[in-house]
């Protein structure tokens, strides 16, 4: 099992939700289907088809090099570039990142203004 730490800043404090998932789970699936309670900052309106951008997250420092780079010829980058809190190299769509054992302990920064 892989442990994912979802961080949410609220009023100057960071709340952390720890979620355990099997290998091959996406960040979006971890937030919607494995988190108790599910994480509302990742509504994933399209269900993980890379067509809405509502699973936009920032990847925590130290984890970026362990993820595959975004293919700049895919819809992921097109959706991300229009997101309010887009940060090149840090922003990812949770539905496009499959977790492996190498990602055990990954930190995901939630964005509180991504809800539509």
Pairwise CA distance, residues 15 & 13, whole Å: 6
In a domain, 116, yes or no: no
> Could you report the per-residue pLDDT of 17-56, keeping only the tens digit for each?
999 999 999 999 999 999 999 998 899 999 999 999 999 9
Q: Domain of residue 17: give its range.
A: 2-109
Residue 95 CA: distances (Å) to CA of 48, 57, 78: 5, 10, 14
d(CA 1, CA 116): 32
- Percent over 90 (pLDDT), the chain: 73
Total number of domains constituting the chain: 1
Q: What is the CATH number of the domain that holds 34?
A: 3.10.20.30
Is 87 domain-assigned? Answer: yes
């Amino acid at each position: 099992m892989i442990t994912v730490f979802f961080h949410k800043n609220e009023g100057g404090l960071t709340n952390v939700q720890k979620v355990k998932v099997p290998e091959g789970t996406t960040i979006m699936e971890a937030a919607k289907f494995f988190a108790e309670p599910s994480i509302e900052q990742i509504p994933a309106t399209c269900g993980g088809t890379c067509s809405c951008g509502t699973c936009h997250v920032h990847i925590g420092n130290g984890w970026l090099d362990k993820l595959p780079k975004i293919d700049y010829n895919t819809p992921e980058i097109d959706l991300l570039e229009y997101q309010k809190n887009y940060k090149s190299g840090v922003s990812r769509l949770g539905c496009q990142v499959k977790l492996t054992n190498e990602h055990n302990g990954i930190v995901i920064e939630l964005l509180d203004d991504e809800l539509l």
